[in-house]
Amino acid sequence: MPTGTKTHGLLPRDVVVAMASTANKAIDNVLLVGSHAMLSPPRNEAGFIAAVTLGGIKEIAKAWRPLCDGLSLTLDLSGVFCHAAPLVKFTDAKRRLWRCELADLLIVVDFGSTGSFIRRAALVQAKMARAAERVSLSGTSTQVQLNLYQNWHKFDFEEAVYGMSQVDFTKGRGGISDSGTIGVIDRHLKTQPVWTQHAASPAPAIILNQPRLGEFIAEMVDGTRSGFGRLATPKLQTDWSKVVERLLEVTYGRAFHHKPTLGPTGAPRGVHAVACLSFRPGAGLMSAIWGGSMKGPPYDFETREDDGQPSGISVVHICIGPI
């Protein structure tokens, strides 16, 4: 993957490695059994995404809490599950018009301190492995999505709520290809399902030494290694940063109800878990600090069911900052 840009690097390297390992284990567990809100263990893309966003977030928070204690940092995790995703349309190099989902999952890491705010983000297209450790990105819709991620043609959002057209990810800081990755979920293994993260180019074919999702998220939190997300700080005012901000705004304004996954009872989309709380003598528990030039979450939730209108995107959102 192309070289990215360092954002913060407040975490010791051994802590990042431990965070990656424990996050991998937490995600492996929810991929196997699902989250508490699910009717049965996941078997398809939607189910696995729900397991990660609704169950994995809390498990990662539990695992990270002892690792981050004493680092004078706060780390808050939020997860949002949406069954649908924003649709976009684009014209390829041969002037053919195509339409596809922008992504299945958006991962966002916000780093904030007084007077500064830095964001890193990555879009993820989730795909099921065709066999153990084998990926086959065939089918028209998958090929269209791959074309978009490999070339980042200018695209338009189909839903008017996003209010963006001729979006151009090729401009701005950071590696263009780091905007979107392929998440391969392999449930053909003898032990349990595994989710690995792949660059879109070259097209994934074999699962071999790629980072698992937990490691990918931990490296995004650290922000010092290339290939793990792209800078999306709102003040950059790039199309990439604007898309990430708009996706969060639309998503956080709605609620989710999907009977096949969660049963007949409507459920709020988002779950929140404080992952790492730092202690100082006499200070007690500290939550995320928002101030200065920072713009961003947490947004207010509006609890309502999906009604056929634009439904946002599944999100893993992590906010990190010093006390």
User: Does the structure show a pLDDT above 90 at 124?
Assistant: yes
Which residue range(s) make up the domain with 80? Answer: 13-322
What is the tens place of the pLDDT at every residue in 14-71? Answer: 999 999 999 999 999 999 998 876 778 888 999 999 999 988 988 998 899 888 877 8
Give me 119's structure tokens: 């964001």
Contact between 320 and 74 (Cβ < 8 Å): yes
The neighbouring-strand residues paired with 256 are: 267
What is the tens place of the pLDDT at every residue in 196-240? Answer: 999 999 999 998 889 999 999 999 999 999 899 999 999 999 999
Query: Does residue 245 fall inside a structural domain?
Result: yes
Query: Does residue 141 fall inside a structural domain?
Result: yes
Query: Does residue 166 fall inside a structural domain?
Result: yes
Query: Does residue 6 fall inside a structural domain?
Result: no
- The angle that helices 213-222 and 13-33 make with each other, rounded to 10 degrees, is 150
Query: Does residue 103 fall inside a structural domain?
Result: yes
What is the tens place of the pLDDT at every residue in 242-283? Answer: 999 999 988 887 644 445 544 554 444 445 443 332 222 222
What is the tens place of the pLDDT at every residue in 259-269? Answer: 554 455 444 44
Nearest to 54 by CA among 229, 258, 291: 258
The pTM score is: 0.83
Query: Does residue 7 fall inside a structural domain?
Result: no
Could you give the 3-state DSSP secondary structure of residue 242?
helix
Nearest to 232 by CA among 317, 158, 299, 127: 317
Number of domains making up the chain: 1
Query: Does residue 272 fall inside a structural domain?
Result: yes
What is the tens place of the pLDDT at every residue in 62-72? Answer: 899 888 877 87
Nearest to 146 by CA among 164, 123, 130: 123
User: Does the structure show a pLDDT above 90 at 146?
Assistant: yes
**What residues have CB less than 8 Å from 55, skipping those under 6 apart?**
30, 34, 35, 36, 37, 38
Pairing of strands 180-186, 194-199: antiparallel
Pairing of strands 180-186, 116-128: parallel
Query: Does residue 289 fall inside a structural domain?
Result: yes
Give the DSSP H/E element, type plus range, for residue 260: helix 259-262
Pairing of strands 230-231, 116-128: antiparallel
Taking residues 163-192, report their average pLDDT.
92
**216 class by beta-carbon count within 10 Å (0-12 exposed, 13-18 middle, 19+ buried):** buried
Mean pLDDT for the chain? 80
